[in-house]
Amino acid sequence: MSHRLGVLISGRGSNLQSIVDAILRGELQAEIAVVISNRQEAAGLMRAREARLETVCVLQKDYASRELYDAAVVGVLQAHGVDLVCLAGFMRLIGEPLLEAFPNRVLNIHPSLLPAFPGLDAQRQALEHGVRVAGATVHLVDAELDGGAIVLQGAVPVLDADTVESLSARILVEEHRLYPRAIARVLDGKWRLVGRRFVVDAAAASA
């Protein structure tokens, strides 16, 4: 039985596309059960529809609180039999209803080498701080902003001539490579949490 993913987006959906492409190439043994957006105008919805994926918009304005909103998202995910929730540019904080419904089953990708530069504008933060290496991180989501256990990371050199736009573009390439691999690693189940650490079974790591 194929693993079923729920992908949450707010924008252009390029990481959604990387997941779709990895599935089509046979590199990720999963199917996308539903794509949820909190914005009706999100360009990623068109990507999803072109891939013949089911899409659902869940809008904050329709709910009186964040908890009710999150509960509505949980309802959509559960109705579609989702095993793993993948945040792909979803510009909302995740609350307790979603974390409780999918414990250690919510993934996010962030454009920095966490714990450095959490939150918004991570690429700008990296440039302004003067780091020589930036990158991308896939992590489990918990109640702390960009604070969950790290599944995979990929480094991207920061060049002297970099702008926010050029650095962001190179980090995005790494995100597209990293996210499907991290999803596959979580889905295979051969891992455990030791404190904050995501530890892969030795046999799985050598496979």
Q: How many CB atoms lie within 10 A of CB 15?
A: 26
Whole-number Å distance between alpha carbons of 85 and 102: 8
Q: Residue for token digits 């969950």?
A: 148
Both structure tokens of 25:
């190439």
Does 139 participate in catalysis according to the annotation?
no
Please name the residue that has the structure tokens 């989501």.
141
Q: Which residues, listed in sequence order, are joined to residue 73 by a DSSP beta bridge?
A: none
40: left (phi over 0), alpha (psi -120 to 50) or beta: alpha
Active-site pick, 3, 110, 139, 176: 110
In single-letter form, the type of residue at position 159 comes to L
Token pair in block for residue 206 = 């050598």
The residues assigned a catalytic role are: 110
